[in-house]
Amino acid sequence: MSPTQEKNAARRAPSAHGSGGAPAAPRRRGRFLESKVADWVLPGVLVVALVALWQAIVSFGGVEEYVLPAPLDVLDKMFGDFGTFAEQSVPTIVAIFVGFALAVAVALPIAVAMVYSEIVRRAVYPLLIIAQVVPKVAVAPLFIIWFGFGQLPKVLMVALICFFPIVIDSLVGFRAARPESLMLVRSMGAGRWQAFWKIRWPWALPSIFAGVKVGITLAVVGAVVAEFVGADKGLGVLLITARGDMDSLTVFASIAWLTVIGFVLFLVVEVLERVLVPGRKSGRTFEASGSL
């Protein structure tokens, strides 16, 4: 058989990956794993499995409710006392929003100043490290002494705890702009701030949102820490009161509410990132998507 005939025979031969072969299932599985649906289905399946395991341990292990309440009882508590949890959630959410907005409003200008001024960067960067390594729980009582009980100490604690990742990631993003892109727009007559808005800002957005996503989750932690130390209302107050009463069901329900709040806030930031960062879905760079 000539080489040409061998090629034709091989072309006509049924492939092991054809429609009648078993590898069709792995291809479908690969397509599923690459789809956006998998981002929701796989975590959902894992959560359901863990909750089912939790329920089985409580139901068949003879665990007392004050030690570990059943997840179905926690859900019943969450929605059975919806009014109480909703009322206590309001001051916590307000502190999260205001403190987080304050952190962003302060972090971005500081990051910009550190990019454009070497003196500012050398003077401020060590102070940022020192502020980060100081335990926030140790600072919270000072806020109570200085500002009393109420929303202000919680707002300041939230701003302090989520400030560092935002400013550091923003600084990394602003400094990641390509020097040749900056020189190009400057050679075309653009000023420093025009170059900033055309090059540095869009280039830094992914890094900024990375810091913002870390910050929004830490904001929930900051609000609860402040409410633990001293507050008259909020989910943290409800949680610590229930802990003192050995009411594990309310403790778990409060933790679940805080988890839901943090998850929803993270999703909001994720949606904003998808809207404001061009080319994020397709993985294109800003230059490839025409943003420069």
Give domain limits for the chain: 70-276
Q: Which amino acid is at 9?
A: A
Higher pLDDT, 132 or 189: 132
Question: 219, 158 in Cβ contact below 8 A?
Answer: yes
Among 2.40.128.120, 1.10.3720.10, 3.30.360.10, 1.10.357.10, what is the CATH number of 70-276? 1.10.3720.10
Please report which confidence band the pLDDT of residue 242 belongs to, taking 50, 70 and 90 as the band edges.
confident
Residue with tokens 């990641």: 176
pLDDT greater than 60 at residue 219: yes
What is the Rg, in whole angstroms, of the alpha carbon atoms belonging to the chain?
Answer: 27
Q: What's the pTM?
A: 0.75
279-282 contact pairs (CB < 8 A, 24+): 280/206
Name all contacts of 136-140 with Cβ < 8 Å and 24+ positions apart: 136/160, 136/161, 136/222, 136/225, 137/225, 137/229, 140/225, 140/226, 140/228, 140/229, 140/230
Angle at 196 between CA 195 and CA 197, to 5 degrees: 95
Q: Read off the pLDDT band of 38 (50, 70, 90).
A: low
Q: Are 213 and 271 in contact (CB under 8 A)?
A: no
What is the separation, in whole angstroms, between the first and last Cα of the chain? Answer: 59
State the Cα–Cα distance between residues 100 and 155, nearest whole angstrom: 8
Residues 6 or more apart whose CB falls under 8 angstroms from that of 27 comprise none
Per the model's pLDDT, the better-predicted residue between 22 and 48 turns out to be: 48
Confidence of residue 285 (pLDDT cuts 50, 70, 90): very low
Mean pLDDT rounded to a whole number for the chain? 79
The dihedral region occupied by 254, where left means phi > 0, alpha psi between -120 and 50, and beta the remainder, is alpha
Q: pLDDT band for position 34 (50/70/90)?
A: low
- Euclidean distance between CA atoms 272 and 277, whole angstroms: 8
Spatial distance between the Cα atoms of 292 and 53, rounded to a whole number of angstroms: 51
Q: 128 and 164 in contact (C-beta within 8 Å)? A: yes
